[in-house]
Amino acid sequence: MAELICTSPTAADATFSASGTTAWNAGMTANSGQLTPARGGTGADTSASSGIAHIAGGTWTVSAVVEADLTLADNTTANASTTAHGFLLKLNNSATQFMNGQGAWATPAGGASLDAITAAAANQAGILNADFNITWKWAPTTDSTNKFNITESVAATGGTVTSGVANQSLVTFATLAGSTASPFTVKTRGNLVMQASSTATQMLFATGTNSVPSISFTGAPGSGFYWVGAGSTFKATTGTSDAVQFDGTNGNQFFSLLKPSSNGAVSLGQGGVGWKGLYLDYTNTATVGAVTINKPSGRVIIGLGGTSVVVTNSLVTAASHVIAVNDNGDATGFVHSVVPAAGSFTINVAATTAQATYTFVVINAD
C-alpha cells in the first residue's frame, strides 16, 4: 500500500515516488485539491479531508494520523521545548536521573540540610513512619561540640507546673496504651545505661558496680548507687567501699549496712536533732550462768554468790567495747569490769547476795 503525504499543499498535482509514496508538488492549495483518475485518484474534492492519504488498489483515502504512521528518527527534531509541545527526549537508561523543566536529564540534588528546613507556621500533624528505622550517624573529631542540640531561640513563657511536672517541654518521648516499645533508651559504648520501661511508669538503670555505680554525680563519678544483683540488695558506694546497703525480704525493706564516708567524720544525729530511739536486736536469757548470745545486746543472769559470767558472742572481738549494768537493783553485785575477747566477753561483778541480772550492749571497733 502506498501513502500520500501532503508536505507542501500548494500544488495542483502530485508525483509518485519509487517507494510508493506520493508527495504533493508545490503550488497546491491545502485541503482543496483533487487527485484525478489519471494520477491514481477518484477526482473527488479533498478539501474536507485532513490527515494522511493511503492508496491501495488505485484508490486513496484520507484518515487521521496514528502512531503506526510515524517513522521516528534518532534526532531531536520536534522535541518539546519551553515554548512548544513536542516529543519526549530519548531515554538515557539511567534510574537515578529525571527530566527537568528545561528538557534535560539531571540528577536530583541532595536533601536539604536541617538548617534549610522551613520553620513551621502552625502545629504540624507529624510524619507517619510505619515500621521503618531511621539512623543518624556522626563521626565527631572536634572537642567541645554537641552534634545534636535542641534548645530555645528565646526563653519559654506561659508554662505551668502540675505536681512538680512542667506542662511545657522541648522534647517528649511517648508510647500509646498497650505498646510494647520503650519510648527512651540510652547506651554508652553499646552498653545499656538506662531505659524507660515499656510496661510501667518506671526508669530502668544498669546494674552498676561498687567502682562504677549506675547512678552517680558529676562531682564524684565514683560515688553513687548500684544494685548488687542478688535478691533485693541495693547499695550506696563511695567508689571504694559501700556506705549504705538496703535489703528486701518478703517485702520488708531495711538497712544491712550503714557507715560513714571516712572514720570519725560523720555523726549520727546532731545537737538539737537527735534520734527518737535506738532499737537493737537482743536476747534476754533465762539461763543462769554462762550462755551464748550472738546479738549486740541482751540480758544474762549470775546466780547467788556469783562473781562473773562468760557470754559467748560471735560479734565480739578483743577490740570491742562491751557495756554491762546490773539492772535488778542488787545492792552488792555491782560490775567491776567487762573483758572482751575474740568471740566472747566476761562480766566481772562483786559477789551477789541474790540472783542478779545484767544487761549488756556491744559496740564494735576496728
Q: 0.85 exceeded by the pTM? A: no
Instruction: Specify the DSSP class assigned to residue 58.
Output: T
List the chain domain ranges.
2-69, 181-261, 282-363
- Give the position of cell 530502668: 204
Q: Give me 197's grid cell.
A: 520501661
317 class by beta-carbon count within 10 Å (0-12 exposed, 13-18 middle, 19+ buried): middle
Phi-psi region for residue 67, left (φ > 0), alpha (ψ -120 to 50) or beta? alpha
**How many helices, marked H, and strands, marked E, lie in the chain?**
0, 25
The pLDDT tens digits of the residues spanning 162-182 come to 999 999 999 999 999 999 999
The CATH T-level fold of domain 282-363 is Immunoglobulin-like (2.60.40)
The pLDDT tens digits of the residues spanning 241-280 come to 776 766 655 555 556 666 776 777 778 888 888 888 888 9
Residue 231 confidence (pLDDT) above 90: no
Query: Sheet holding 321-326: strands in order across?
Result: 282-288, 297-302, 356-363, 321-326
278 class by beta-carbon count within 10 Å (0-12 exposed, 13-18 middle, 19+ buried): exposed
pLDDT at 26: 38
Q: How many CB atoms lie within 10 A of CB 50?
A: 13
Note whether 304 and 314 are within 8 A (CB): no
